[in-house]
Amino acid sequence: MKKIFLLLTIMALVTGLYSYSILEMETGNVIRNVDPHSAAMGSAIGVGGLRLLDSMTNPANLTNLKNGFGFQTTGSFLTDSDNRSLPMYNSFDAYSGDAVYVSNVNIFADFAGGMYYKRAISDFDLAASLQYRPQVSFIADYFEQVRNNRNSDDNEYPFKIAQNTIESTGGINAIAFQTAFKYKNIASIGLEVAQLTGDSEMEKSVIWTLEAQETINDTVLYNYVNTLKREFSAIQFKIGANVNISQRFDLGFSFTPKVELEVTGNTSQYFLEAPKIEPDSTDNINWVDVEDAVFVYTNFDSTGTPLDSLTYDQYILPMNARMGFSYKPRNIMSTIMNCNIEFVKWSDTNPLYDDAINYYIGVEHILKNKIPFRFGFNYTTTYGLFNDTGITFAREITTPTFSAGTGFTILDKFTFDISLEYSNRQYEALDLFGDSYYWDENHAYDDLWENSYWIHDGGGIQDRGWENPDTVNETFINLKSAISFTW
Amino acid sequence: MKKLLMVSLLIMLIISIAKAKIDLNTATLLELKTHLPITDKQANDIYDYRFYISFFQSVYQLREIESIDQKTLNLLKPLVSVSHYDEKDESAQRRDDIYYLIERLGSNEGLQEGMSDIWEDYLISPRNINKLAFSDILNLPNTSPIDVAAILNRVAVGDSISSYRDLRKSPGISYYGAKNLQNYVYYKEQPEVRDLYFDYQMKYNDSPYGDDEKEMYMESMIRFDPPDSDDPKTPGIKRQSYWGYFNMESHRATIMNKLRMRYRNEFKAGFIYETPRNSSPLFDANSDNIIKDGKFYAGYENNFKFLGNNYLKIYAGNYRATFGEGLVMENTDSYSPRKTGYGFNKRITGIIGDISRTQEYALRGIALDWKRNNMNAVVFLSSDKKDAVVYDSNENGELDEDDNILGYINMTHRFSNHDMEEAEEFFNEYPENFNQVEIAPRLDALQEDIIGGHIEYSPFIGTHLGFTGYEARYDREFLVPDEDELKHLLISDDDYAESKWKITDNEITTMYSTFSDEYGDRNFRRVVGFDWRTVLNNTSIQGEYAELQKGGELAKIGDDPRALLISSYTQFDNLYLISIYRDYDIDFDNPYHRSFSESERFDDTVFEKMAYGLNNTLLNDMYNNSAQPSAERGIYFETRYQFHKMWTITKAYLDLWERKSDARRGVRAQVKLEFKPIHQLRFRMRHKHQVKRYDDEMDRGKSQADETELKLVAYLSNFDKLQLGYVYARVLQPPYLSILSDPAEPGAPDMAQGQTLTNGDMIYLDYTHHFNKNLKVIGAFSMWYANGASFWDFEDIELDFDQSDRGYKTWFNIHSRIANNLYLSLKYKYKQFLTRELEYRDYNDIPDEGEYYFQRVEREENIVRLQLDWKF
Instruction: Kindly tell me if the per-residue pLDDT of B779 is higher than 80.
Output: yes
d(CA B199, CA B870): 6
B13-39 pLDDT, tens digit each: 444 444 568 888 888 889 888 888 889
Give start and end residues of each alpha helix (H) in B50-113: 70-76, 90-97, 99-107, 109-112
Distance from the Cα of residue B458 to its chain's centroid = 31
CB B223 within 8 A of CB B234: yes
Nearest CB to B840 within list A90, A398, A471: A90
How does strand B515-516 pair with strand A249-256? Answer: unpaired
Cα angle at B747 between B746 and B751, to 5 degrees? Answer: 75
Spell out the residues 6+ positions from residue A165 whose beta carbon is closer than 8 angstroms to its own: A142, A143, A144, A203, A204, A205, A207
Helix B99-107 with B115-124: angle, nearest 10 deg: 170
Of A229, A268, A144, A244, the C-alpha closest to A188 is: A244
Q: Residues 226 to 245 of B: which have CB under 8 A from any A CB?
A: 232-241, 243-244
For residue B67, the distance in angstroms to the closest alpha carbon of chain A comes to: 13
Least confident of A129-138, B282-291, B852-861: B852-861
Mean pLDDT for B110-131 is 79
Nearest CB to A99 within list B253, B283, B857: B857
CB B536 within 8 A of CB B565: no
Nearest CB to A332 within list B54, B859, B862: B54
Confidence of residue B598 (pLDDT cuts 50, 70, 90): very high
Ranges in chain A, pLDDT < 70: 1-20, 91, 151-155, 458
Residues of A in contact with B86 (CB under 8 A): none
CB A101 within 8 A of CB B852: no
d(CA B796, CA B793): 9
Residues of A in contact with B53 (CB under 8 A): 330-334
Residues of B in contact with A471 (CB under 8 A): 249
Q: Residues 585 to 644 of B: which have CB under 8 A from any A CB?
A: 612
Question: Which residue pairs, CB below 8 angstroms and at least 24 apart, start in B40-43?
Answer: B41/B67, B42/B67, B42/B68, B42/B72
Number of A to B CB contacts under 8 A, please give it: 178
Q: Torsion over CA of B83, B87, B90 and B91, rounded to 10 degrees?
A: -160
- Predicted local distance difference test score (pLDDT) of residue B748: 44
- Predicted local distance difference test score (pLDDT) of residue B440: 96
- Predicted local distance difference test score (pLDDT) of residue B113: 64
- Predicted local distance difference test score (pLDDT) of residue B111: 53
Q: What is the pTM of this model?
A: 0.87
Q: Which residues are paired to A22 by β-bridges?
A: none
Instruction: Kindly tell me if the per-residue pLDDT of B138 is higher than 60.
Output: yes
Maximum pairwise Cα distance, chain A: 87
d(CA B326, CA B526): 15
B49-88 pLDDT, tens digit each: 988 888 888 889 888 888 888 998 898 888 988 887 776 6
- Predicted local distance difference test score (pLDDT) of residue B746: 44
Element (H, E) at B11: helix B2-20
Instruction: Kindly tell me if the per-residue pLDDT of B743 is higher than 50.
Output: no
Nearest CB to B243 within list A92, A95, A473: A95
Spell out the residues 6+ positions from residue B582 whose beta carbon is closer than 8 angstroms to its own: B563, B564, B565, B566, B595, B596, B597, B632, B633, B634, B636
- Predicted local distance difference test score (pLDDT) of residue B283: 56
Residues of B in contact with A88 (CB under 8 A): 840, 852-854, 857
d(CA B162, CA B178): 13
Residues A97, B859: C-beta atoms closer than 8 Å: yes
3-state SS, residue B410:
coil
User: Chain A contact for B854, CB < 8 A?
Assistant: yes
Residues B244, A87: C-beta atoms closer than 8 Å: yes
Least confident of B185-194, B334-343, B706-715: B185-194
Helix B90-97 with B115-124: angle, nearest 10 deg: 120
Instruction: Kindly tell me if the per-residue pLDDT of B305 is higher than 80.
Output: no
- Predicted local distance difference test score (pLDDT) of residue A86: 83
Q: What percent of chain B has pLDDT over 70?
A: 88
Instruction: Kindly tell me if the per-residue pLDDT of B496 is higher than 70.
Output: yes
Residues of B in contact with A375 (CB under 8 A): 814, 816, 826
For residue A83, the distance in angstroms to the closest alpha carbon of chain B comes to: 11
Residues A454, B849: C-beta atoms closer than 8 Å: yes
**Residue-level length of chain B:** 872
Residues of A in contact with B774 (CB under 8 A): 331-333, 335, 365
CB B680 within 8 A of CB B701: no
Q: Which residue of A has its CA nearest to B255?
A: A379
Which ipTM value was assigned to this complex? 0.84
CB B42 within 8 A of CB B73: no
Determine the residue type at B523: N
Burial of B651 (0-12, 13-18, 19+ CB in 10 A): middle
Residues A357, B282: C-beta atoms closer than 8 Å: yes
CB B484 within 8 A of CB B434: no
**Cα separation of the two ends of chain B:** 59
Q: Torsion over CA of B659, B663, B664 and B670, rounded to 10 degrees?
A: 40
Determine the residue type at B704: Q
B379-411 pLDDT, tens digit each: 999 999 999 999 999 888 889 889 999 999 999
How does strand B185-186 pair with strand B127-128? Answer: parallel
Residues A457, B814: C-beta atoms closer than 8 Å: no
Of A150, A105, A144, A112, the C-alpha closest to A131 is: A112
- Predicted local distance difference test score (pLDDT) of residue A16: 34
Confidence of residue B853 (pLDDT cuts 50, 70, 90): very low
Instruction: Kindly tell me if the per-residue pLDDT of B533 is higher than 90.
Output: yes
- A108/B677: higher pLDDT: B677
Confidence of residue B749 (pLDDT cuts 50, 70, 90): very low
d(CA A378, CA A390): 35
Nearest CB to A332 within list B66, B234, B774: B774
- B98/B812: higher pLDDT: B812
User: Chain A contact for B495, CB < 8 A?
Assistant: no
- Which of A330, A354, A386, A461 to mutate: most B Cβ within 10 Å? A330
- Which of B93, B818, B841 to mutate: most A Cβ within 10 Å? B818
- The sign one gets for the Cα dihedral B771, B773, B777, B778 is positive
Q: Which residue of B has its CA nearest to A475?
A: B862
For residue A385, the distance in angstroms to the closest alpha carbon of chain B comes to: 15
Average pLDDT, chain B: 86
Residues A457, B862: C-beta atoms closer than 8 Å: no
- Predicted local distance difference test score (pLDDT) of residue B95: 78
